[in-house]
């Protein structure tokens, strides 16, 4: 397939190209166009012009366009899913789930409105709150979920009346570029622009005077740099960053029932999820049995090329992450006991089997840091108040979960865990109508839901005297 940038409604070549690898084979999947700084400036200029049209488009028409994009995504789901599997590595079934999930997110935002809120209507004054668009949004997308995380941003930005410049990750740009091709004619020229880079335009986007907001999903370290550079022009920012989600497994769980759910919460997308369960605290009374069950599931998991039928876990997405995860395995080997996985196979592809580590302390790197891969430490505890304190002893605060046969008991624990989202008897359940965001170094602002939509708007108060 011949990939193009989308700038000002036109599909154009980049100033250069870069190879995109298939992480399952390490072979070149495609030569991807990359934008120059001049092309970025052209995209910003086009977005500013498109914004002047789009902001005055009635919201009913904006909503209809979101539905049209959802239709296009669904009609082209097989092609998009195959591209996604080849560039990202995830199994084809999971890729299809991501594509259809993105369509669902568009349809959810299509259902929303931005009504005028009347704060007061008295004899002396009428006070209204309006929601106006911000302008041009820069959306920076990571490599773990290149399509659905785009759908966290694009429909909300469009419904709010903004124009947008989308920059996918350099290792997974193809699905975003293909989506750009598919929707190139849906909206006025310049309203949506899609550019790719070789990790050289991020700071140009975050400092650009023509961009009013940055919506970034990625690592905490990069998010801090985005925040610092965006400060030069006082941009609005939404940052969804790293996490080190704790799963607290209480003494009354049915281990055989919850073990597969915990495994999925930790190893979905090969653990390359910001809200994956990255450390498990299991009560000493069920610790050995839970470790045994998780190890069994890990040993039975089918790891392979995402295009092959039956594959449950594909490769890590890129060489840098592959090397990082191997290092975390060695930390687990040195500071704990590996009971499943741990041996990286020879040959092509960034494959690492799901790895379970037991008898490891809170102070090890594997527990304290975000491994972002298929390595799960299981830590023992004996006191609920103590485990809450240990779970909260982290710089991160994105997600977490509490597991118990007594929902009310788990709920009381969940209230004491410091995190943006806490699930009870489930994990990593994101729904389009439920607001999502982190605390501490896990982020700033909110995505999804009506609250997430509001972050793509400017509040404007109109205060009218009646006498």
Identify any residues that bridge with 461 across adjacent strands, giving them in sequence order.
129
Neighbours of 304 (CB within 10 A): 17
User: Which of 288, 239, 264 shows the shortest CA–CA distance to 438?
Assistant: 239
Looking at the annotation, which residues are catalytic? 240, 274
């Amino acid at each position: 397939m011949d990939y193009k940038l989308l700038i000002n409604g036109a599909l154009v070549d980049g100033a250069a190209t870069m190879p995109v690898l298939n992480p399952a084979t390490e072979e070149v999947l495609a030569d991807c166009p990359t934008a120059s700084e001049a092309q970025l400036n052209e995209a910003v200029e086009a977005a500013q012009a498109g914004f002047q049209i789009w902001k005055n488009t009635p919201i009913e028409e904006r909503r209809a366009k979101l539905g049209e994009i959802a239709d296009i995504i669904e009609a082209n789901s097989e092609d998009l899913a195959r591209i996604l599997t080849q560039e990202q590595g995830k199994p084809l079934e999971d890729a299809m789930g991501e594509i259809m999930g993105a369509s669902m997110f568009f349809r959810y935002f299509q259902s929303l409105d931005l009504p005028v809120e009347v704060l007061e209507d008295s004899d002396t004054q009428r006070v209204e709150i309006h929601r106006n668009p911000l302008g041009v949004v820069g959306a920076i997308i990571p490599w773990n979920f290149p399509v659905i995380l785009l759908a966290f941003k694009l429909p909300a930005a469009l419904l709010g009346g903004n124009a947008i410049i989308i920059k996918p990750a350099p290792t997974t740009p193809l699905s975003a570029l293909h989506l750009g091709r598919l929707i190139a004619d849906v909206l006025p020229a310049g309203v949506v622009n899609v550019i790719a880079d070789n990790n050289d335009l991020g700071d140009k986007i975050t400092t650009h005077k023509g961009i009013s907001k940055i919506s970034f999903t990625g690592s905490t370290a990069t998010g801090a740099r985005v925040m610092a550079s965006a400060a030069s022009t006082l941009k609005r920012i939404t940052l969804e960053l790293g996490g080190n989600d704790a799963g607290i497994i209480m003494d009354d769980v049915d281990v055989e029932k919850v073990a597969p759910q915990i495994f999925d919460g930790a190893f979905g997308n090969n653990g390359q999820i910001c809200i994956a369960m990255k450390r498990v605290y299991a009560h000493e009374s069920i610790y050995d049995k839970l470790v045994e069950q998780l190890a069994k599931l890990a040993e039975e998991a089918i790891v392979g090329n995402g295009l092959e039928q039956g594959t449950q876990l594909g490769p890590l997405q890129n060489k840098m992450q592959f090397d990082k995860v191997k290092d975390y395995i060695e930390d687990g080997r040195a500071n704990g006991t590996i009971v499943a996985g741990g041996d990286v196979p020879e040959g092509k592809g960034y494959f690492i089997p799901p790895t379970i580590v037991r008898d490891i302390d809170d102070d090890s790197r594997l527990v304290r840091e975000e491994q972002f891969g298929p390595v799960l430490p299981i830590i023992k505890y004996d006191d609920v108040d103590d485990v809450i304190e240990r779970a909260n002893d982290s710089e991160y605060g994105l997600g977490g979960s509490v597991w118990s046969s007594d929902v009310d008991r788990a709920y009381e624990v969940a209230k004491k865990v410091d995190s943006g989202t806490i699930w009870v008897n489930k994990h990593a359940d994101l729904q389009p109508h439920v607001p999502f965001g982190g605390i501490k170094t896990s982020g700033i602002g909110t995505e999804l839901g009506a609250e997430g939509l509001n972050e793509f708007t400017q509040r404007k108060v109109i205060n009218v005297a009646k006498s």
